[in-house]
Structure 1
Amino acid sequence: MRLALPLALGLLLFVAVAAPAPAQEGGALLPRVVDEAAVPGVMAKAVDGFILPGYRNLAETTKALSEATAALCKAPSAASLEAARSAFSGVVQSWSAIEIIRLGPALEQNRFERFLFYPDRKSTGLKQVQAILAKGDESATQAETLKAKSVAVQGLGALEYALYGTGAETLSGKQGDFRCRYGLAISENLDTIAGELLAEWDKPDGIQAAWKQPGPGNPLFRDNKEAATELLGVLVHGVEMVKDQRLRPFYAGAVDGKRDPGHPRLAIYWRSVNTMPSVSTNFRALQKLFDTAGMESLLPADSRSIAGSIDFLFKALINAADRINGPIDAALADERQRRTLDFIALNTADLTDRLNRDFGGAIGLGAGFSFADGD
């Protein structure tokens, strides 16, 4: 089904009607509480059904990328360059499916920023990558020395430039030797980080145990409500990340009554044409976490329709993102696709509200609580 912008208001009306009004007694709102008995099971399903499989897939694709890049360096050709680029896109997809877990091991040792430095608002990272290529800095061609450098030169953004940026055509011949060895060091670095993330989550007595067993002695969650709040926070912040860091940098819609012309070169992965496929995967990942963990079971029985309206929004956003699958500059030059971007922005904001206000309120977060504010 193709959803056009005029349906946006209808969609918002649908979810507004679908969500139940808070129960009242004598004119006062009744307190809502999370179904605490369901929390450990929900957290366990989030770990076993989403987080661990996500990191396993990431480790598999980074290994394939490292192997494809090594093959390119050993025998450069148009075919081996295409294989390395295809493997890069595979890692973009697997990373986009798990990057919403921006906590714990992902924050330790700057792993998240080392894997993906974005947004690069002042093109600081781009300039550093270009300097490495211009100078032929050999210390950037070994993963061990590369990881000691700026986070901006050792992750997906740097590798995308190496594979797709100015001069990338040299990779199909011997003249691209240094560039390829730099790309290989980045690939190996990504593979190492992916392996570390999987290993940390795979430890039975590590962070997965903390997620699965909330309680007084737990270093992360003293009770079930704290655990449920953390999981919901992953979803809220994940949606906000898509809205603020993936969409807004290259297209803000109408600003002060004037249509934003768009800024395609500020879009993530614009060189490799992975911008909207990555956004679509972000939405799919968020929906998968919501459904796989069984978040609906945390809601009071008379509020379960909230989960239905959230799922409806996820599906609509995924379908819309999938319709923009070419270069982002071409999308911004096409009025129909711009309307689709407007639709995505509008309903992403509504999805944030549904999760933060409606779901959060239904499981007992007090009035005025905001994940965005960290209250």
Structure 2
Amino acid sequence: MRLPLLVLTGLAMASPALAAPDYLPLLTKTAEGPILGGYKEFQADAAGLEQSVTAFCAAPDAAGLDRVKAGFVTTLAGWQKVQWISYGPVEAFHRGQRMQFWPDKKNAGDRQMLALIKDRKADALEAHRIPFASVAVQGLPALEMLLFADSQADKLLSSSDETAFRCKLLAGIANNLNRVGGELVTEWEKPGGYVDIMKTIGGGPNPYADNRQAASQLFNALHGELTAIAEVKLSYAMGANADEARPGRAESWRAKQSAANIRHNLESLRHVFATGLAPVVTARGKPEQMDRLLKATDDALASLAQLKAPLETEMTTADGWKRLATLKTKVKAVAQILETDIANTLELQVGFNALDGD
């Protein structure tokens, strides 16, 4: 059958709109910017923390302990900025869980850490052994317990064999954070590493069949982080109301950094939205969708800024609980735009994530 020229012309004009999205800018810009840059920042933070611990353990005093605590907060913030990355090298060797085993619903970290201190087995602190210890005593929550739990930090300033052991434990964990941070940087940055993989999908040996598969994984990691903020970082600790709130379930409740964690999460996601998603969505002729996504993210950050006290305190008062409920609604609004408008434009969909199995 021969089609009229007018119909053929119309089909030709429509064909660009039917072309598949070009995912390459999303993959490369995100890999080179937020991911690699974020891991480099975390590794530098962890290296600084290790130096502070080394100096403190050589001459323990209150000022040195304060510097270690500050280094912990900085390193925790660095990790929160890359926490959304749930794929690639961070999956290998359980690196993600080794950096932050949370939520720890069975309190394994505290139990295992106290048992470790009680037994004082020096060989457990050897650098080559810590990576093979329980993930619950390798990372940031373990350090937080040693530095911020009631009466625990004071034991780092007394003169006893236990104090020396605790300092060795601090040093071993800090070294582990630094080492794993370096591994993550290397695995993304090295020739043939994940930055190169994102640039050469379809051009040889590669874990991805095509750019769409890689983009789908990245997209679901972003959506998964938003879900985790709403359902785990907030709902899990908030309960049904202020009377049922469980502050001890908050992510970094001992250091009172749970709200700051969420701020770093949202700011990091916004960076990815603006750096990686925006070029692709705009190229698809939908810049207004990016405007809505960025505005919704800014609204969530503004809601977070309205908290009057640490998140752990806010959830225990009626007004504070309402402010957190509003924050949760704002975070869900970001996720909703991502899973509907942006997903449709990019021809992607929300799939299974780790939270689905909980």
| Paired position in structure 2 for 1:359 | 342
* Counterpart Cα distance in 1 of 2:19 and 2:269: 20
The alignment partner of 1:184 has SS state of helix
Equivalent residue for 1:224, pick from 211, 214, 233: 211
What is the TM-score when the length of structure 1 is the normalising length?
0.83
Equivalent residue for 1:241, pick from 204, 209, 228: 228
| Paired position in structure 2 for 1:11 | none
Cα shift readout 1:105-158 (whole Å, capped 9, x = no counterpart): 001011111111001001122110111122223233222222221110111111
| Paired position in structure 2 for 1:170 | 155
Equivalent residue for 2:89, pick from 102, 105, 110: 105
* Partner AA of 1:222 in structure 2: A
Q: Equivalences for 1:257-268 in 2 at 5 Å?
A: 261-268=244-251
* Counterpart Cα distance in 1 of 2:236 and 2:17: 37
Q: Is the 8 A contact 1:143 1:185 kept in 2?
A: yes
Equivalent residue for 1:298, pick from 276, 281, 288: 281
CA distance change for structure 1 residues 260 and 203 in 2, over 3 Å: closer, same or farther?
farther
* Counterpart Cα distance in 2 of 1:289 and 1:127: 37
Equivalent residue for 2:100, pick from 112, 116, 128: 116
* Counterpart Cα distance in 1 of 2:183 and 2:297: 31
CA distance change for structure 1 residues 203 and 297 in 2, over 3 Å: closer, same or farther?
same
What is the TM-score when the length of structure 2 is the normalising length?
0.87
Question: Is the aligned partner of 1:282 residue 2:265?
Answer: yes
Question: Is the aligned partner of 1:129 residue 2:113?
Answer: yes
Cα shift readout 1:49-82 (whole Å, capped 9, x = no counterpart): 1111111111100000001111111111110000
* Counterpart Cα distance in 2 of 1:186 and 1:59: 14
* Partner AA of 1:343 in structure 2: T
Q: Equivalences for 1:86-97 in 2 at 5 Å?
A: 86-97=70-81
Q: Percent identity?
A: 25
Q: Is the 8 A contact 2:21 2:346 kept in 1?
A: no
Between stretches 135-144 and 102-111, larger displacement belongs to 135-144
CA distance change for structure 1 residues 243 and 143 in 2, over 3 Å: closer, same or farther?
farther
* Counterpart Cα distance in 2 of 1:213 and 1:339: 48
Alignment gaps of 5+ in structure 2: 1-14
- Tell me the CA shift for residue 302 of structure 1: 4.5
Cα shift readout 1:316-342 (whole Å, capped 9, x = no counterpart): 112222343744332123333222211
* Counterpart Cα distance in 1 of 2:54 and 2:148: 17
| Paired position in structure 1 for 2:122 | 138
Equivalent residue for 1:36, pick from 3, 21, 27: 21
Size of the aligned set, in residue pairs, is 338
| Paired position in structure 2 for 1:161 | 145
Between stretches 142-151 and 195-204, larger displacement belongs to 142-151
Alignment gaps of 5+ in structure 1: 1-29
Q: Is the 8 A contact 1:42 1:294 kept in 2?
A: yes
| Paired position in structure 2 for 1:320 | 303
* Counterpart Cα distance in 2 of 1:171 and 1:34: 62
- Tell me the CA shift for residue 219 of structure 1: 2.0
Q: Is the 8 A contact 2:281 2:342 kept in 1?
A: no
Q: Is the 8 A contact 1:237 1:372 kept in 2?
A: no
CA distance change for structure 1 residues 145 and 373 in 2, over 3 Å: closer, same or farther?
closer
Q: Equivalences for 1:331-346 in 2 at 5 Å?
A: 331-346=314-329
Q: Is the 8 A contact 1:62 1:191 kept in 2?
A: yes
RCO (CA 8 Å, sep 6+): is it higher in 1 or 2?
1
Q: Is the 8 A contact 1:236 1:371 kept in 2?
A: no
* Counterpart Cα distance in 2 of 1:236 and 1:73: 41
Question: Highest Rg: 1 or 2?
Answer: 2
- Tell me the CA shift for residue 274 of structure 1: 0.9
Cα RMSD of the aligned pairs, angstroms, is 2.4
Q: Answer 1 or 2: which has greater helix percent.
A: 2
Between stretches 83-92 and 208-217, larger displacement belongs to 208-217
Cα shift readout 1:34-58 (whole Å, capped 9, x = no counterpart): 7634x22232111111111111111
* Counterpart Cα distance in 2 of 1:50 and 1:183: 29
| Paired position in structure 2 for 1:348 | 331
The alignment partner of 2:238 has SS state of coil
CA distance change for structure 1 residues 135 and 43 in 2, over 3 Å: closer, same or farther?
same
* Counterpart Cα distance in 2 of 1:158 and 1:34: 50
Q: Is the 8 A contact 2:250 2:312 kept in 1?
A: no
| Paired position in structure 2 for 1:370 | 350
* Counterpart Cα distance in 1 of 2:18 and 2:183: 37
Question: Is the aligned partner of 1:186 residue 2:173?
Answer: yes
